[in-house]
Structure 1
Amino acid sequence: MQTAAGSSVGRLVTGVSRFHHFGLVNVVRSDRGAAELRRRFPDVPVVSTEHPGWTDAVREAAAGRPVSVALDPIGGKPAESLLDLLTPGGKLASYGLIAEEPIPLHASALLNKSLTLQGKNIGRWLSEASAERRASDVATAQQVALGLKDQFAVAAEYGLGELTDAVEHAVRPGKVGTRPRPPLTATVRGSGGAAGRAGPSSWPVPPGSRLPAVNSIGSDLVGVRQIPLVWCDQFVDGRFGAP
């Protein structure tokens, strides 16, 4: 089971779950979001929390199968309902804090069902995972991105001659926000095709921006966090990286 299933991360989780034949129940906050998700994944059950009794709908969608894992980027009061849905020995994996309030939790909820709460974030992964694990995870992420590219929402498309516009769009404040950083220079590197023939070029990235990546994530981006993607049809071979 996962909440916020209509998000980009949620859609990717759904795609990976289908590939590996994992049973999954998606949870979204509105009927409109549920309808959109059903359009994308008609064979995966979706439950909307817009209506009272949505937890019963989750149990019905699970069709008698135990709910052993809940993936949740929200937290707060909704997470309490997820704990109630978990089977004994189940795990709640939290990877976000959309809700401002804390998760209301009594010790009995953990003790009586032997539940596990686990937090995950990219910062801990960068500091704790071995180099081999990180390389494996990045390779898996690349395969997921290639196999599920239709699940990425494209805000705009730019040709190779419009790279400046693409960068300005990528660093524009939006839903994911921005984070301050020292002035950087973004360098275009290409191994072939139009970008490779053109050679590297550079331009400054304004302070307070996040470094954009175009079409692929590679070794040039190791250590760069929270990178928004900008997809350009004519820029398949190039990357943005921190020099």
Structure 2
Amino acid sequence: MIDLYYWTTPNGHKITLFLEEAGLPYTIHPVNISNGEQFAPDFLKIAPNNRIPAIVDQSPGDGGAPISLFESGAILLYLADKTGRFIPQDLRGRNDVIQWLFWQMGGLGPMAGQNHHFVQYAPEKIPYAMERYVKETSRLYGVLDKQLSDGRDYITGKDYSIADMASYPWIVPHERQQQDLAKFPHLKGWFERIAARPATRRAYELAKTVNVAPTVDEAAKKVLFGQDASTIKR
């Protein structure tokens, strides 16, 4: 059984996408990040970076104690290795998937996240910051579009992998990121293929039951965007 500490963000969706695809039994423990639940002491024992998602695998398969993990990329890689699914077993295929997983973790996610912040949430509209991150998001969309331009169905070839699961949730809010998928036809086709997968539909329907009325009000902004070193020390 997997205990999933989750909220309805792109990084949270990555893990439900995997669990629904793999059919692994799991229990969701909602962590409402707008209310500051990510600072609860019990959660911090699992996720010292006070971010979702995190998991505890109660049955890791080695006969030992439960394993806890934070960071969505690390969780995806762990689950892929645990199940032997959604990552190739050969040297070249495995590392191809891993490099695109890291591409998302180091590029698409952080840059799109800054795009969200400065375009949607920042109290002051800063044209330079908005342009900077909208353009960088566009560049990254272009990288993915080019990667998919040779007729492959998924990022690393014909097989769906954790690289796709990592990137897809960050493309879902493309309109908020001021991106037009029509300008990226190969990316658009990929996006539609993943959206049509039954497991993807289940994962996103599940999200609606966890976070019934998504909102980021002024109080939530203070929680989400007001953190510094004192947050960790408290």
Q: TM-score, normalised by structure 2?
A: 0.31
Q: Whose strand proportion is higher, 1 or 2? A: 1
Q: Whose helix proportion is higher, 1 or 2? A: 2
Q: Answer 1 or 2: higher relative contact order, Cα 8 Å, separation at least 6.
A: 2
Q: TM-score, normalised by structure 1?
A: 0.30
Q: Which has the larger radius of gyration?
A: 1
